Amino acid sequence: MVIVWYLLFMVLLSAPGIWYHIAIGKRIAHEEKKAGRDLTYEINPFTGGRE
């Protein structure tokens, strides 16, 4: 039973980080689609935007 609580705790702890990376990836993909080119060295990795 302790293992189940531990796994649940780890899932709850890692969920925000996973959600953050998915959101940043979607934002970067949207910016690149809008620009029509690869923005690898032009984009801010913390916000996912060019500005």
The predicted model scores a pTM of 0.70
Please give the pLDDT value at position 51.
67
Poorest-pLDDT segment among 1-5, 34-38, 43-47: 43-47
**pLDDT band at 29; cut points 50, 70, 90:** very high
| Cβ density class 10-30: b for 16+ within 10 Å, e for less | eeeeeeeeeeeeeebeeebee
Q: Which domain covers residue 27, as residue numbers? A: 1-51
Closest by CA to 27, choosing from 51, 50, 48, is 48
- 31 close to 43: Cβ distance less than 8 angstroms: yes
Q: pLDDT tens for residues 2-26?
A: 999 999 999 999 999 999 999 999 9
Q: How many domains does the chain have?
A: 1
Please give the pLDDT value at position 7.
97
